Amino acid sequence: MPERPLDHRLTDPPSLPAVIVVADDDRVSRDALATTLKNAGFKVVIAGDGQEAVELVGRGGVDLVMLDILMPRLGGIESCRIIKGMTNESFVPVMLVTVKTDTASRVEGLKIGADDYITKPFEEREMIARVEAMLRIKRLNDHLVSVRKKLERLSVYDELTGLYNYRHLHTRLQEEFKRAERYHGPLACVVVDVDNLRGHNERGGQALGDAILRGVADSLRRCVREVDVVARYGGEEFLVILPSTPIAGAMAVAERIFREIRGRVFGDTSANASTRATVSLGVATYPSQDINTKEALLRAADTAITNAKREGGNRIGVFQQRNTMYTPDTEPSSRYTDATARTSSDRPPASLRSKS
């Protein structure tokens, strides 16, 4: 077995042999290739023609394909074209197998996307070296693809909780706000903040804090509908966007979240490193007299939760319009504000309770 290339450690798992499809209608030359490759430590899958090779690649898990030029049903050039069209992201190297004199096929094959060729009869060491060179490029490509996918994921999702991140949250809120404006529909926002996360972190280490955040994220997912948006809003804060939801529905969701989290144990119970936790919530809804932008909606939810926190946490704050009627006098009337944030302890005010 040859020495593994140095960059083999870039891929995991590192010890699996590369899978090579050998397509040739001539049994003698096919077996010669297959035996040499097997002896070099590769896993070989045989195909009798190009059609079979294309089907094998379509099933996935193939690292390299070797195609004879002249085959019944589907020849090497045509199968190469099809395979290259199938695998635009995951790079599957294609090597053509030609007779020495057939320069025209080699040139055509390379032009339509074949990555390399060998001539038959082949020289064993050179053939293996070429295969390994191709696999080296494939591994680098696979590595880059996986890094790019991870970056794409991180640009939308929060790594710890798997929820949408702050950036994507604003994109989604913008969309939902525009939709609500256009259709004059209600839109609710619920900010959820873990009470005293720092205390949990100090007591149980960051592992416990992270377990609480992941657990809260999981609870939030359970408490909302498919159309709702749940995102990580800050260090210990989450935001739930509830499209087409008026105040009563938003309160019902806030209460469900509140109870779900109170009924939960976070962390590792077997290692005696678990805890219970509570959250504070801030609810705001659009349309509302003072809420005409998504920023104002977020500010209102923030005001509501700030008041809930100020009252000691473990409760729900609701941003409400107060229907204020008064006769103006000559004194400045700054104590009358159109909008105030009220808080409630475990239960919201009766007037706001869900009808369900």
Alpha-carbon span 217 to 317, nearest angstrom: 20
Instruction: Find the shortest distance in angstroms from Cβ 89 to Mg ion.
Output: 30
Instruction: Find the shortest distance in angstroms from Cβ 118 to Mg ion.
Output: 14
For Mg ion, the closer CB: 98 or 219: 98
Instruction: Find the shortest distance in angstroms from Cβ 228 to Mg ion.
Output: 59
Residues 6+ apart with CB under 8 A from 306: 282, 317, 341
What is the amino acid identity at position 99?
V
Selection from 267, 70, 265, 240 nearest residue 164 by Cα: 240
- Give the residues lining the site for Mg ion (CB under 5 A): 25, 68, 70
CA torsion 80-84-86-87 (nearest 10°) is 130
Q: Are 54 and 74 in contact (CB under 8 A)?
A: yes
Strand pairing class (187-194; 279-286): antiparallel
Query: Please, which residues bridge with residue 283 across strands?
Result: 190, 318
Alpha-carbon span 106 to 122, nearest angstrom: 15
For Mg ion, the closer CB: 75 or 249: 75
Instruction: Find the shortest distance in angstroms from Cβ 44 to Mg ion.
Output: 17
Instruction: Find the shortest distance in angstroms from Cβ 96 to Mg ion.
Output: 11
For Mg ion, the closer CB: 68 or 158: 68
Closest residue to Mg ion using C-beta atoms: 70
For Mg ion, the closer CB: 122 or 157: 122
Instruction: Find the shortest distance in angstroms from Cβ 74 to Mg ion.
Output: 12
For Mg ion, the closer CB: 68 or 195: 68
162: left (phi over 0), alpha (psi -120 to 50) or beta: left
Alpha-carbon span 262 to 280, nearest angstrom: 11
For Mg ion, the closer CB: 70 or 133: 70
